[in-house]
């Protein structure tokens, strides 16, 4: 857990740079548990299908639906207390995935995580990302790279960052601005959905494993459709808070309703869908 005095100072760094790194959120035993839970999933997992996912990167999607260990990360109290400050009440989990960048992977195209929301910039972030370091993040193993302060850029500044072709390559003058988020395993980087970042090049011989859990405003569409991906019998076992973050919640007065009922009612085995045949 973050000591209270550190918890207070995160906000200044987050507001000025667009990100903050919290070290030591996971202890040795918790890290071991996460690695053990991830190992069989990564063994099955295919590599990415394109340059963005990373052809030498394994991704496991819908991690929050794959066991208690991952649920606990989503609900980590230090992270949720930050989200409570950064997003409106009833905020949602927008995606949940493991990202294992293998040796030889090239840099990911630089991007922002809330670019899906076509609302002109500069503007407040509509999502906030968390990137858990499950391995140490180093200068050469693919640590996430960010451009500090880019969360304040306008749409024009964002477009200028690219070469101007379709490759989404970073224009050369921006490369020196990239900072690698070097941090020990067990840390978590929290950054604005408006911040320019990318997965780094992996020049090491090892794998860089991370877990990415971004959260979004309660009125914004989630990247992952958890209603369809996580079976209801699994959702029923989860805490009310997590159920709510997956979307079994109402953003007042009635966004998210199910035939004029609270969506949590759908989890009750007795629930009868009025539209069912």
Ligand X SMILES: O=C(O)CCC(=O)C(=O)O
If one asks whether residue 210 binds ligand X (CB under 6 A), the answer comes out as: yes
Q: In angstroms, what is the minimal distance from the CB of 53 to ligand X?
A: 7
Binding-site member from 66, 76, 151, 197 for ligand X (CB under 6 A): 197
Of the two residues 126 and 131, which places its CB atom closer to ligand X in the complex?
131
Q: In angstroms, what is the minimal distance from the CB of 94 to ligand X?
A: 11
- Interface with ligand X in residues 112-131 (CB under 6 A): 113, 131
If one asks whether residue 190 binds ligand X (CB under 6 A), the answer comes out as: no
Binding-site member from 99, 128, 245, 246 for ligand X (CB under 6 A): 99
Q: In angstroms, what is the minimal distance from the CB of 199 to ligand X?
A: 3
Of the two residues 66 and 198, which places its CB atom closer to ligand X in the complex?
198
Of the two residues 26 and 210, which places its CB atom closer to ligand X in the complex?
210
Of the two residues 145 and 249, which places its CB atom closer to ligand X in the complex?
145
Q: In angstroms, what is the minimal distance from the CB of 207 to ligand X?
A: 12
Q: In angstroms, what is the minimal distance from the CB of 194 to ligand X?
A: 13
If one asks whether residue 199 binds ligand X (CB under 6 A), the answer comes out as: yes
Of the two residues 48 and 263, which places its CB atom closer to ligand X in the complex?
48
- 212 with 113: CB under 8 angstroms? no
If one asks whether residue 102 binds ligand X (CB under 6 A), the answer comes out as: no
Written in H, E and C, the secondary structure of the chain is CCCHHHHHHHHHHHHHHCEEEECCCCCHHHHHHHHHHHHHHHHHCCECCCCCCCCCEEEECCHHHCCHHHHHHHCCHHHHHHHHHHCCCCCEECCCEEEEECCCCCCCCCECCCCCCCCCCCCCCCEEEEEEECCCECCCECCCEEECCHHHCCHHHHHHCECCCCCCCECHHHHHHEEECCECCCCEEEEECCCCEECCCECCCCCEEEEECCEECCCCCCCCCHHHHCCHHHHHCCCHHHHHHHCCCCECCCECCECCECHHHHHCCCCCCCCCC
The strand pair at 188-192 and 97-101 is best described as unpaired
Q: In angstroms, what is the minimal distance from the CB of 230 to ligand X?
A: 21
How far is 71 from 223, CA to CA, in rounded Å? 18
Of the two residues 17 and 113, which places its CB atom closer to ligand X in the complex?
113
If one asks whether residue 144 binds ligand X (CB under 6 A), the answer comes out as: yes
By the criterion CB under 6 A, which residues form the site for ligand X? Answer: 99, 108, 113, 131, 144, 197, 199, 210
């Amino acid at each position: 857990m973050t000591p209270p005095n550190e918890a207070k100072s995160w906000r200044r760094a987050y507001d000025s740079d667009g990100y903050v790194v919290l070290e030591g959120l996971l202890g040795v035993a918790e890290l071991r548990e996460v690695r053990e839970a991830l190992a069989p999933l990564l063994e099955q997992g295919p590599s990415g299908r394109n340059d963005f996912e990373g052809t030498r990167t394994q991704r496991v999607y819908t991690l929050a639906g794959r066991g208690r260990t991952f649920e606990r990360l989503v609900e980590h109290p230090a992270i949720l207390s930050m989200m409570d400050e950064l997003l409106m009440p009833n905020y949602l989990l927008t995606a949940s995935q493991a990202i294992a960048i293998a040796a030889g992977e090239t840099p990911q195209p630089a991007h922002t995580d809330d670019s899906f929301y076509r609302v002109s910039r500069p503007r407040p972030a509509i999502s906030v990302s968390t990137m858990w370091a499950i391995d140490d993040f180093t200068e050469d193993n693919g640590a996430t790279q960010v451009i500090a302060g880019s969360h304040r850029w306008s749409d024009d500044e964002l477009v200028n960052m690219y070469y101007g072709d379709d490759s989404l390559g970073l224009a050369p003058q921006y490369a020196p601005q990239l900072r690698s988020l070097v941090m020990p395993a067990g840390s978590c980087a929290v950054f604005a959905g408006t911040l320019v970042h990318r997965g780094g090049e992996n020049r090491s011989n090892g794998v860089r494993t991370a877990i990415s859990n971004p959260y979004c405003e309660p009125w914004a569409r989630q990247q992952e459709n958890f209603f369809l991906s996580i079976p209801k019998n699994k959702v029923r076992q989860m805490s009310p808070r997590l159920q709510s973050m997956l979307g079994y919640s109402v953003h007042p007065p009635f966004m998210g309703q199910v035939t004029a009922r609270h969506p949590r009612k759908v989890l009750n085995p007795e629930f009868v869908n009025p539209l069912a045949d």
